């Protein structure tokens, strides 16, 4: 696989299965540990409460799901969904060793066809997933469908900054931090998809438009670190 062919669902699934064993360590290295702060902000914006039933779409190794679980408590429930069985296995193992008291469920599934009934969840999160789905409008429609009225969702992802000088810095970061780190972990090929995925990812204003077209009553996009990261906050 190369960055030219990493554009189908199966290609992207293969990437995340492959990087699963090192995914957490790579996140720590590539973000200098800051990804935990961005994830905590995302969970807060999704507005979870004690006893809620929460959904984490594209849950990966489970970071957002575990943060949600701490907010909804043992009276609530968190469902983590991902299409990577390897990522789900790591999340389940982390649950056993660190979060055994919390009711979490891990589901292998498609973000474009969520296997849940309408109006089921009280809140939802998504981290680094919207940029990787093959149909963003459909993904947003599915998220809207499974959320209860008045529920909130928060979607965290990388972005191409609007300011030219920050785009220059971002490209330097990709070339001089991401690429060497990926080489160190023997995952250069897997991380080659980042640049093309950023290039085609809708900007914040476009995401807001897509979300309202999907049925959300309110949508706001909050840029982080100069627009290199952002959180799309949605209200049903």
Q: What is the pLDDT of residue 179?
A: 78
Q: What is the pLDDT of residue 3?
A: 37
Q: Which domains does the chain have, with CATH numbers?
A: 9-235 (3.40.50.150)
How far is 129 from 43, CA to CA, in rounded Å?
Answer: 15
3-state secondary structure of 35: helix
Q: What is the pLDDT of residue 167?
A: 87
Classify residue 226 by its DSSP letter. Answer: G
| Global pTM value | 0.87
How far is 189 from 74, CA to CA, in rounded Å?
Answer: 41
Spatial strand order in the sheet of 229-235:
104-108, 77-82, 53-57, 121-127, 147-158, 229-235, 218-224
Q: What is the pLDDT of residue 236?
A: 92
How confident is the chain (236 residues) per 10-residue block, as mean pLDDT?
Answer: 50 64 66 80 97 97 95 96 93 90 94 97 96 95 97 95 89 84 73 80 95 98 92 96
User: Cβ distance 82 to 108 under 8 Å?
Assistant: yes
Q: What is the pLDDT of residue 176?
A: 85
């Amino acid at each position: 696989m190369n960055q030219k062919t990493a554009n189908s669902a199966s290609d992207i699934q293969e990437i995340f299965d492959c990087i699963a064993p090192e995914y957490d360590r790579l996140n720590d290295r590539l973000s200098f540990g800051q990804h935990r702060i961005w994830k905590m902000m995302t969970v807060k914006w999704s507005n979870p409460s004690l006893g809620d039933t929460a959904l984490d779409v594209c849950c990966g190794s489970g970071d957002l799901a575990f943060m949600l679980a701490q907010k909804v408590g043992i009276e609530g429930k968190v469902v983590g969904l991902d299409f990577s069985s390897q990522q789900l296995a790591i999340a389940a193992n982390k649950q056993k060793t660190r979060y055994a008291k919390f009711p979490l469920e891990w589901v292998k599934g498609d973000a474009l066809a969520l296997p849940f009934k309408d109006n089921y969840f009280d809140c939802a999160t998504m981290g680094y997933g919207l940029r990787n789905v093959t149909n963003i409008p459909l993904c947003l429609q599915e998220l809207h469908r499974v959320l209860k009225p008045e529920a909130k969702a928060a979607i965290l992802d990388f972005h191409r900054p609007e300011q030219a000088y920050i785009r220059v810095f971002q490209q330097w970061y990709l070339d001089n931090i991401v690429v060497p780190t990926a080489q160190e972990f023997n995952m250069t090929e897997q991380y080659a998809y980042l640049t093309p995925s950023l290039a085609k990812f809708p900007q914040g204003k476009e995401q807001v438009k897509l979300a309202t077209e999907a049925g959300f009553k309110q949508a706001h996009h909050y840029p982080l670190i100069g627009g290199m990261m952002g959180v799309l906050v949605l209200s049903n």
